[in-house]
């Protein structure tokens, strides 16, 4: 029962409250840890709740799940109290677990395939930047910057961006993109993209993906702020996020049309506002409480699952 309540809380009210809260902008790293704990704990709780209900007919359900899943239970009769609901619940736990894992694998494979194709096109259509290894300039009029993670990560700038930014602003953009690569933000985003793909009918999964995307941008901004002033970084973000119409012949070249990502205006606005009016950092005590809560959220369903398995 406890796992079912936790699963419901993490599937609906908790993510809504967190997505609307103002404090994550004051401690994006701490908020990101909490979002990851919510996602992981939510999945474990859903599987654990189904598994625990399915095992209720057993007097001692410690380790029974592994017996059921391995087929050893076929050597003897099921308990008399075992009904269709318990069997459906056990099957649902198995299917949900497999679905989440396969979604993660499928998303990772698809994403890597797209990045490989993207990398090949960038290598063909761009030129390297002298004195800046791993940075390439794409002949495209709109001001855009992004990174491609991999064994040999690439930071991509456009000619339009290089022309309009001054030295400090360009340094800010490079620091921001390299922070994404150094902190492996692509792996975090991949996990939430997989969660959203696995549960497309689940509005909270989409909300979580958007919230996490904003947090990793804020983390990269904080890293860039160590190299440049907030004003230069905010100006660079605003320029990079300046609107341009995909398909407009004035700014779109056929060969690069599908390479250039569009920025999210809402995310850009939140980032610029945070830089121009920096909020006070979240206190150390509050951060420790959130981190402790994150650990507890994952530990509770994990302990139940380990007992059942």
Summarised one tens digit per residue, pLDDT across range 204-213 is 888 899 999 9
pLDDT, residue 56, reads 82
Residue 59: CB atoms within 10 A of its CB come to 7
> In the predicted model, is pLDDT for residue 197 greater than 90?
yes
How many residues in total does the chain contain? 309
Looking at residue 63, its pLDDT comes to 63
Q: pLDDT tens digit string along 141-192?
A: 889 999 999 989 999 999 999 999 999 999 999 999 999 999 999 999 999 9
82-137 pLDDT, tens digit per residue, is: 778 988 998 899 999 999 999 999 999 999 999 999 999 999 999 999 888 899 99
- Return the higher-pLDDT residue of 145 and 64: 145
Sequence-distant (6+) residues with CB within 8 A of 82 are: 57
pTM above the 0.85 mark? yes
Helix residue ranges, H only, the chain: 2-11, 13-20, 28-54, 64-70, 84-125, 159-164, 167-182, 185-198, 203-224, 230-240, 265-276, 284-308
């Amino acid at each position: 029962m406890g796992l079912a309540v936790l699963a419901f809380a993490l599937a609906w009210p908790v993510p809504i409250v967190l997505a609307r809260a103002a404090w994550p902008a004051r401690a994006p790293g701490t908020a990101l840890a909490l979002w990851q704990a919510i996602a992981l704990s939510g999945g474990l709780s859903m599987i654990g709740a189904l598994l625990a209900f399915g095992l209720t007919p057993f007097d001692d359900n410690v380790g029974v799940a592994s017996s059921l899943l391995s087929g050893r239970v076929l050597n003897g009769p099921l308990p008399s109290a075992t009904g269709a609901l318990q069997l459906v619940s056990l099957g649902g736990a198995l299917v949900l677990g497999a679905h989440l894992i396969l979604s993660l694998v499928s998303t990772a494979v698809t994403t890597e395939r797209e990045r490989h194709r993207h990398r090949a096109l960038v290598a063909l259509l761009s030129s390297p930047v002298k004195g800046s290894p791993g940075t390439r300039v794409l002949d495209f009029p709109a001001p855009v910057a992004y990174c491609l993670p991999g064994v040999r990560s690439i930071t991509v700038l456009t000619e339009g961006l290089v022309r309009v930014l001054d030295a400090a602003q360009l340094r800010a953009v490079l620091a921001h993109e390299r922070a994404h690569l150094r902190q492996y933000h692509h792996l975090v985003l991949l996990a939430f993209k997989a969660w959203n793909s696995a549960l497309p009918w689940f509005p909270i999964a989409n909300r979580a993906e958007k919230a996490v995307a904003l947090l990793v941008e804020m983390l990269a901004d904080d890293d860039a702020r160590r190299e440049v002033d907030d004003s230069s970084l905010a100006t660079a973000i605003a320029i990079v996020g300046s609107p341009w119409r995909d398909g407009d012949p004035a700014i779109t070249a056929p060969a690069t049309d599908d390479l250039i990502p569009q920025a999210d205006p809402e995310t850009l606005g939140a980032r610029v506002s945070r830089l121009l009016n920096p909020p006070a950092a979240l206190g150390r005590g509050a951060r420790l409480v959130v981190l402790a809560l994150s650990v507890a959220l994952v530990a509770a369903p994990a302990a139940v699952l380990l007992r059942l398995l």
